[in-house]
Structures are given as C-alpha cells and as structure tokens.
C-alpha cells in the first residue's frame, strides 16, 4: 500500500452528525481542484459517498413490484392507514384484492403526511369496461402538495383536450406522448416533483415536474405555473413547502396499487451543495472541508511517521489557502526529507515510492498554485530523487 492510500483509508471525519468527508478511500491530488463555484475537486476522494439504496422490483401486469429500500410506502395493498379525507376522516375508498379502489362519490383522499420535493411512483388502472368519453372516462388525478394535478385519465383511443390527457400537468401542459395501455391494465407513473423556491418574494427556482408514463417521458422538467386546474389560467407563484399527496374522486371506480415516494435532497438554491454554487457558498463549503481535513490531520500525528499528517495538511490547502498550515506543512516536509536523506542506504532504498509520491503531490500543488513557485521541500525532494536515480527504470 502506498502512503497516499494509507492516508485515504485513515480519512474518516464526522463533524456532528454530518459526514463532511468521505469515509472511503479515493484519489487525492488528482483531478482539477476546487474553484470559485465548485467546493470539491474533480474525482474528489474526500467527497461523501452517495447513500446506498437497495432497488425495488418492477411490476408486471398482474403483480405489483417492490419499492426501493429508502421509499416511504404510501400503499402496499394492505391498508389505507396513510390516507384520509380532506377533513381528516378515515379514507372511505375500498381495498379489493390488494388494490385500492375509488368509491365514487365519497370524495378524494390524501396522505396523512405532508411531502415536498419528491420522487413519486404510482400505478393506476381505469375500469376495463369503457363508459363515457373525453374527461368523463376513467378520470382521476394525483396532486402534488395537494394542488398540482398530474392528470390520470383513460386516454386509450380517447379524444379530449390535450392538456387534460393522462400525464398532463392538468390545464397547463399536455403530455409529450400518450404511451397508455388499454383500460383495465395498470399504468405506471413516475413523477419527479420540485416545488417553487421563493425568497423575499423573488423566484429562485420556479419548480419543475418531470413525468414518465409507463417508462416514457411525457413531462420533461416542465416549469411550474401554479396548481393548474379546470378552465382557469394558472398563475406562476409560490406554493407551500410541503403538502399532502392527493388522489381525485372524479366519479369513476379507478384502481391504484404500489404507491411510494422518496424525499429529494435540497437544490443549490435552498442550501444543497452539489452542483455549481454561488461563490460565497462555495467558499464557505471549501472552508468547512479544509477545516475537517486539518482536524483529521491532527488525529494522524505521529513523530515516527510524519508523512500521513503532513500530506493531509497539504491536502487541506487544495480547498483553502491558510498561511499557518502552509508554514507548518513546509516545516514538516523539510524535516521529513532531512530524515530520509540521513537513513542508511538499505533503509533509504525503501523510501523510493513514498518520496516519489510526495514529489507528485508537490507537482500538483505547484501546478494549481497551492504552494509557491519556489518551494524548498519540492526542490529538496526532486534533488533526492535525482541523486538516488529513483526515476530510472529498474532492471
Ligand atoms: Mg383528474
């Protein structure tokens, strides 16, 4: 194992409950470093790992699939415990053979819990026996925040107004296609919902809805224009941060199964730190990362093996310039090279790889102006490698 890997494996720091640094090994001094809008380097080994999710299974015509491991299950075929009327009464819809069915005339139902930005999965089927036409045929709807309706309609060989078809952002935007199955068969909706973000009355992000119907994209990051609705022009504006997910009773005995959602992480405009950031946010994040690395460096302190600590100190400079840290790391590097040079020949020979690694670290730091052009330990390391012939190919 080279020293870089050793250092990486030791790099586990948790500040409070928030993992600031990766708990796993990964490259250091490697990709382009952080810049004014990116707090992480390219391929940054310090960057936290994405959470692990065990994927679910897909549904078949007869069998509902399984949700992914981090989903909030809203309906799994057993009960309506997570649902209620808009008056807070128990949901009056029926469960038949593990499927939820609208009790026409009983009113819509909504989740007891509130949700904001989410990935929502829902499957529905219109009655196999076709009755009515246009909006009167197999109509329901799923409402994000209890307001924004993604239309549910038996659109199979059914003509209606375009912005009222299955997969429409109702009254606002038609679906880009109608990939619907015949009535009686289950249709699968996968929806990505991002609510509008306003600050001081100004829109930082209009919010968006993306919808797949039976795996086919029908709403492509469509900007929100208010709740949508029947006949009235919807207006752009703020919406609540959270609200129930609602299902519509439009008088048809529609069926539902396999309903789940996953909360989504914050966007940059609301405090998320993945993506290009405003410079002041990027600077603050870089400071946070550098501080965590310096804290980690202190845990590596070992007079007999100074290299892990000094590498970690240099690493912190990739994120944030800090003269006292540079001064300390320089002194440690100078002492390290002196110590190595004074070793007897047989032990000196064993230092070849770690010294060459240190030379590469200095090259990286110099290339990105993290150390001065004239940096004494860099010169000393290069001289040592040259004197020992450590760059020559070995026989
Ligand atoms: Mg509807």
Q: What is the mean pLDDT of residues 294-298?
A: 96
CA 262 to ligand 1 centroid distance, Å: 23
DSSP string covering 240-296: -S-B--EE---SS--EEEEEEEEE-PPPGGGT--SSS--HHHHHHHHHHHHHHHHHH
Q: Does residue 135 sit in the same domain as residue 278?
A: no
Q: Does residue 129 sit in the same domain as residue 236?
A: yes
CA 166 to ligand 1 centroid distance, Å: 9
**Confidence bin at 7 (pLDDT 50/70/90):** very low
In terms of pTM, does the model score above 0.75? yes
Q: Which of 223, 251, 267 is the last residue of a domain?
A: 267
CA 345 to ligand 1 centroid distance, Å: 82
Per-residue confidence (pLDDT) for residue 394, from 0 to 100: 62
CA 247 to ligand 1 centroid distance, Å: 9
In this model, does residue 246 exceed pLDDT 60? Answer: yes
Q: Does residue 210 sit in the same domain as residue 282?
A: no
Q: Does residue 217 sit in the same domain as residue 292?
A: no
Q: For the domain that residue 246 is a member of, what is the CATH number?
A: 2.60.120.560
In this model, does residue 3 exceed pLDDT 80? Answer: no
Is residue 61 included in any domain, yes or no?
no
CA 57 to ligand 1 centroid distance, Å: 28
**Confidence bin at 27 (pLDDT 50/70/90):** confident
CA 173 to ligand 1 centroid distance, Å: 14
Q: Which residues contact 135 (CB under 8 A, 6 or more apart)?
A: 153, 160, 161, 164, 250
Q: Which of 267, 284, 303 is the last residue of a domain?
A: 267
Is residue 62 included in any domain, yes or no?
no
Q: What is the mean pLDDT of residues 287-315?
A: 96
Domain count, the chain: 2
Q: Does residue 311 sit in the same domain as residue 193?
A: no
Q: Does residue 134 sit in the same domain as residue 240?
A: yes
Q: Does residue 150 sit in the same domain as residue 247?
A: yes
Least confident of 44-48, 271-275, 298-302: 271-275
Q: Residue 181: is it exposed, middle or buried by C-beta count within 10 angstroms (0-12/13-18/19+)?
A: middle
CA 150 to ligand 1 centroid distance, Å: 8
Q: Does residue 247 sit in the same domain as residue 321?
A: no
Range of the domain at 314: 3-50+273-388
Q: Are 239 and 196 in contact (CB under 8 A)?
A: yes
Q: What percent of the chain has pLDDT over 90?
A: 87
């Amino acid at each position: 194992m080279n020293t870089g890997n050793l250092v990486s494996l030791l790099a586990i720091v948790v500040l409070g409950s928030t993992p600031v640094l990766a708990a796993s090994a990964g490259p250091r001094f490697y990709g382009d470093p952080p810049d004014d809008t990116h707090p992480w380097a390219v391929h940054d080994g310090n960057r936290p790992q994405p959470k692990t999710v065990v994927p679910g299974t897909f549904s078949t015509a007869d069998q509902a699939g399984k949700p992914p491991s981090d989903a909030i299950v809203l309906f799994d075929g057993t009960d309506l415990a997570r649902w209620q009327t808009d008056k807070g009464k128990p949901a009056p819809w029926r469960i038949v053979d593990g499927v939820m069915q609208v009790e026409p005339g009983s009113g819509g139902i909504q989740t007891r819990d509130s949700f904001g930005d989410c990935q929502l999965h829902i499957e529905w089927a219109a009655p196999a026996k076709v009755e009515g036409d246009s909006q009167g045929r197999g109509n329901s709807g799923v409402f994000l925040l209890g307001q924004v309706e993604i239309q549910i309609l038996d659109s199979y060989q059914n003509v209606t107004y375009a912005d009222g078809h299955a997969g429409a952002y109702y009254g606002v935007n038609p679906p880009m296609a109608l990939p619907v199955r015949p009535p009686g068969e289950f249709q699968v909706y996968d929806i990505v919902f991002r609510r509008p973000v306003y600050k001081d009355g100004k829109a930082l992000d209009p919010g968006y809805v993306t919808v797949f119907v039976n795996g086919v994209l029908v709403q492509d990051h469509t900007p929100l224009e208010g709740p949508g609705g029947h006949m009235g022009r919807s207006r752009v504006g703020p919406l609540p941060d959270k609200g129930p997910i609602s299902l519509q009773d439009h008088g048809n005995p529609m069926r539902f199964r396999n309903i789940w959602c996953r909360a989504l992480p914050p966007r940059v405009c609301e405090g998320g730190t993945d993506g290009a950031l405003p410079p002041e946010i990027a600077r603050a994040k870089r400071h946070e990362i550098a501080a965590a690395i310096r804290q980690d460096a202190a845990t590596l302190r070992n007079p007999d093996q100074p290299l892990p600590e000094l590498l970690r100190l240099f690493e912190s400079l990739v994120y944030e310039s800090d003269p006292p840290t540079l001064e300390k790391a320089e002194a440690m590097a100078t002492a390290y090279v002196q110590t190595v040079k004074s070793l007897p020949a047989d032990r000196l020979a064993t230092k070849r790889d770690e010294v060459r690694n240190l030379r590469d670290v200095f090259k990286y730091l110099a290339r990105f102006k993290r150390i001065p052009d004239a940096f004494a330990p860099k010169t000393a390391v290069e001289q040592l490698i040259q004197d020992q012939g450590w760059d020559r190919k070995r026989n």
